Structure 1
């Protein structure tokens, strides 16, 4: 009886372990428009802030174990094209940019996804969300899901910035 009970307990423990979310490379890879961004430290994402970025392209490699992110970093004077490659561990990607970053990709629909990131600059960790769309806009439902996720991650809704108004970097 004890071996059966132990087997049952072991099975429940194993079942409780969450497997990494499988990302569909065809849903992630492609050209994207950066629609909204938010941060718990809003100064980091305001014009000229170190995390003022405009994501343009994502590319999954090796079943999304690597994710290439192409974006423009914007200073008041210019847009600089940057490409970083993040490594996946479980559901989380790791990449160095303006400090160290971890982020996760959260599909919202076939045409929209959210990146939730935590940037550590050595002094402070900043929580950031990004809403990306395959087109020039998102639906009301996609926007609402983004706002709920942003608030759930501890970022006030008033910190959401509409990047479609400030994005003058090359497409």
Structure 2
């Protein structure tokens, strides 16, 4: 009887383990806007922080073997439009050198929402962060809840979420709405 109970308990525990959702690569490319950013080291993502950036476009190269990421970044008060290319390691985990060594993982992709998880090693500290991107200029309440769940799963406090869209400005011809 104990064996049956233990087997049942084991089956319940294994069944409760959530398997990672499969990413549909067709949902990755396109125009994106950074809506939210969160990090375990919040000073890295606040306005003026070294990891504060404003996504504009993501393109898949060679069946998403590489991601071309176009974004704005401020450097000494100057807004720069940059494009960096990340190389896939496994699954949807990519490596990119930008303000340190980074692993970037696409952890959620839907028609209107994309979430990336990044571990940035600046040589002194590893910062865990997520960025919530949208095709428009906001998240629905359900999308915000999903973003918060993904932060919690990765140990990033939801109180460290920054609403990037409210503070981000790019050049006049491509401005975040206020």
With the length of structure 1 as denominator, give the TM-score of the two structures.
Answer: 0.84
Structure 2's unaligned 5+ residue stretches are: 1-18
Aligned 8 A contact 2:99 2:122 in 1: yes
Mapped to 2, the partners of 1:22 and 1:130 lie a distance apart of: 16
Mapped to 2, the partners of 1:82 and 1:64 lie a distance apart of: 19
Mapped to 2, the partners of 1:156 and 1:138 lie a distance apart of: 19
Q: How does 1:110-149 map to 2 (within 5 A)?
A: 110-149=111-150
> 1:31 maps to which residue?
31
Aligned 8 A contact 1:72 1:81 in 2: yes
Q: How does 1:1-171 map to 2 (within 5 A)?
A: 21=22, 23-24=24-25, 26-75=26-75, 77-91=77-91, 92-170=93-171, 171=174
Query: Which deviations, in whole Å up to 9, do the C-alpha atoms of 1:25-65 show, x marking residues without a partner?
Result: x3111110110000100010112111010011000011101
Aligned 8 A contact 1:108 1:145 in 2: no
**How large is the RMSD of aligned CA atoms in angstroms?**
1.9
3-state SS in 2 of match to 1:144: helix
With the length of structure 2 as denominator, give the TM-score of the two structures.
Answer: 0.80
* Count of matched residue pairs: 153
3-state SS in 1 of match to 2:129: strand
Moved over 4 A (4+): none
Mapped to 2, the partners of 1:108 and 1:145 lie a distance apart of: 11
Structure 1's unaligned 5+ residue stretches are: 1-17
